Structure 1
Amino acid sequence: MAKIVVITGANTGIGYETVKALLQNDKEMPYRIFLGCRSLEKGEAARKQVLEEVPGTQSTIDLLQVDVASDASIKAAFAAVSKETDHIDALVNNAGHALDPAYAKGELSLRDCWNQNFDVNVSGTDVMTHTFAPLLIKSKDARLLFLTSGLASNVDFAENYYAGPAPTETGWPKTFVGRPTTYRATKAALNMMMLNWHYLLKPDGVKTFSISPGMLATGLGNIKDFLIAHGAGHPSLGGQLIQKVVAGERDSDAGYIVNATGRMNF
């Protein structure tokens, strides 16, 4: 019997690398992966590519059209999965927005930057989880994952701020220096949301995690070149970490923010 995994935003970046990592590590148990994507065309291209990269896999991939910014899309995705199975074993909330660079370029307003980031990273993720929870709690070995960021630690940010050099820039406006203010705030909110789901679903046996994959060179925010120039790792590192969590290798860290080496501060 296959382990059933639903992954949002799975046609690119860390989501794609998660699919690949699952296919590469399916010897003990195959996976049935619902590859979540907003565009079926892009999803089909991703499925074709990953199956070419991992030939001979015992796992299968179903395309799942889902846009977490749309309640109707989430409901349709739930109906599609429910027709195929009576449970899922893992929900990987990977889809996300990072619009701070677009705001800095004047491509959208500050309010739209905040609202759109929160809509996808927090509101949409919560609606996705709420909608799929009935399938998740039916699993005998369920795991719920939320993709967060090392930038979202309130403790680390406060400690670095007080320990670092004092700001020197005066006047207004301030220079945008690549600090993703709204993105950081949404992921901090997501960590609190994870804690809420952890305590809510713990009686049902669901193990819940926030995943901090580290600074990786994804297309998020359309600043991939900037990330590479500043030492970002390959997105496959994130996929490998998520695979380990889905496989149960980090179960002792349920209810915490998980990174490659241990736990991260809230």
Structure 2
Amino acid sequence: MASNKEIVFITGGNTGLGYEVVKALYKSPRPYEIILGCRTVSKGEEAIATLQKEIPESASTLSVQQADLESDASLEQAVAAISTNHGGRLDVLINNGGASFDNDIAPHGRGCRAPRLLFVTSGTATLAETEIFDTPMGQRLNASPPAGWPKGSAGPGTMAVTGYRSAKTGLNMVMREWARILRNDGVKVWAVSPGFLATGLGGVGADRLKAAGALDPSVGGETVREVVEGKRDGEVGKVVRRDMVQPW
């Protein structure tokens, strides 16, 4: 059923940064239909219940859509369900879970007031900052480990984030390509670099990450909301951080 509210679908919306994005949008005075994409529907329902207790009044509505990013069939079903339930319309797609719907994006742009496509990237993916060594973060990420093999999985200069950094660097080009492909369709595209946040990413624990300087995940949620609500429209096609455009 078509709605006058902007329809937002976010993958991985039940936990971590995804949950904080949902929370930031849900407490906004601007009305949204927020669809939490998650692998397990019950976890999405639990997240909604928690959010509604924390924020008992909202202009927005919440729902859950099963979306397993490791299953093509699950994603196809999610696309079909959103198309059926929302009149073929999707105003904002936030690829927080790390996957793109590629060619399935286009059919959901019909009737949108200001369609937006967001990818969640990382500050570790900027090539320009791979030569920074004079900060604690630069030391952890960019220092070279001692000679010998294996390199280990802890301490400065290890290979612990090599795959992650490489994947997010590639994601930045995915964003640039979609910005190019969808430019004449009026779809605004960004990658959002939310910062070093104390989420469940990497499984090391929020307390340990905070001790290393990580910020509360709500900071990333607010940054994504700024993009959704048009405050970063002058930076379309860029990787945006909380307070700047991230260098390439």
Shared fold (TM-score, shorter chain, > 0.5): yes
**Higher share of residues assigned helix:** 1
| Alpha carbons 1:137, 1:204 under 8 Å: kept | no
Superposition deviation, residue 70 in structure 1: 1.2
Distance in 1 between residues matched to 2:170 and 2:64, nearest whole Å:
29
- Alignment correspondent of 1:81: 82
Matched, 1:142 2:144: no
Matched, 1:197 2:178: yes
Q: How many residues are matched?
A: 234
**Superimposed CA distance per residue, residues 238-257 of structure 1 (whole angstroms, 9 cap, x where no aligned partner):** 11111110011101111000
Paired residue for 1:14, among 13, 17, 21?
A: 17
Distance in 1 between residues matched to 2:145 and 2:129, nearest whole Å:
21
Distance in 2 between residues matched to 1:84 and 1:44, nearest whole Å:
18
Which runs of 5 or more residues in structure 1 are unaligned? Answer: 96-120
Matched, 1:57 2:58: yes
Paired residue for 1:5, among 3, 8, 30?
A: 8
Superposed, which structure 2 residues align to 1:119-130 within 5 Å? Answer: 121=98, 125-126=99-100, 128-130=101-103
Q: Which amino acid counterpart does residue 153 of structure 1 have in structure 2?
A: T
- Alignment correspondent of 1:115: none
Superposition deviation, residue 138 in structure 1: 4.2
**Superimposed CA distance per residue, residues 73-126 of structure 1 (whole angstroms, 9 cap, x where no aligned partner):** 11000111111112111000001xxxxxxxxxxxxxxxxxxxxxxxxx3xxx13
**Superimposed CA distance per residue, residues 28-83 of structure 1 (whole angstroms, 9 cap, x where no aligned partner):** x3100111110011000001111111111011011110012211011000111111
- Alignment correspondent of 1:206: 187
C-alpha spacing 1:18/1:167, structure 2 compared with 1 (3 Å): closer
Superposition deviation, residue 161 in structure 1: 5.9
- Alignment correspondent of 1:71: 72
Superposed, which structure 2 residues align to 1:90-239 within 5 Å? Answer: 90-95=92-97, 121=98, 125-126=99-100, 128-136=101-109, 138-157=111-130, 159-160=131-132, 167=144, 169-176=146-153, 177=155, 179-224=160-205, 225-239=207-221
Distance in 1 between residues matched to 2:144 and 2:225, nearest whole Å:
40
C-alpha spacing 1:168/1:11, structure 2 compared with 1 (3 Å): closer
C-alpha spacing 1:202/1:137, structure 2 compared with 1 (3 Å): farther
Distance in 1 between residues matched to 2:123 and 2:58, nearest whole Å:
33
C-alpha spacing 1:137/1:256, structure 2 compared with 1 (3 Å): farther
- 3-state SS of paired residue (1:14): helix
Which range is displaced more, 2-11 or 169-178?
169-178
- 3-state SS of paired residue (1:264): coil
Superposition deviation, residue 231 in structure 1: 1.2
- 3-state SS of paired residue (1:49): helix
Q: Which amino acid counterpart does residue 74 of structure 2 have in structure 1?
A: S
| Alpha carbons 1:90, 1:136 under 8 Å: kept | no
Alignment identity in percent? 42
Which range is displaced more, 172-181 or 7-16?
172-181
Distance in 2 between residues matched to 1:32 and 1:68, nearest whole Å:
21
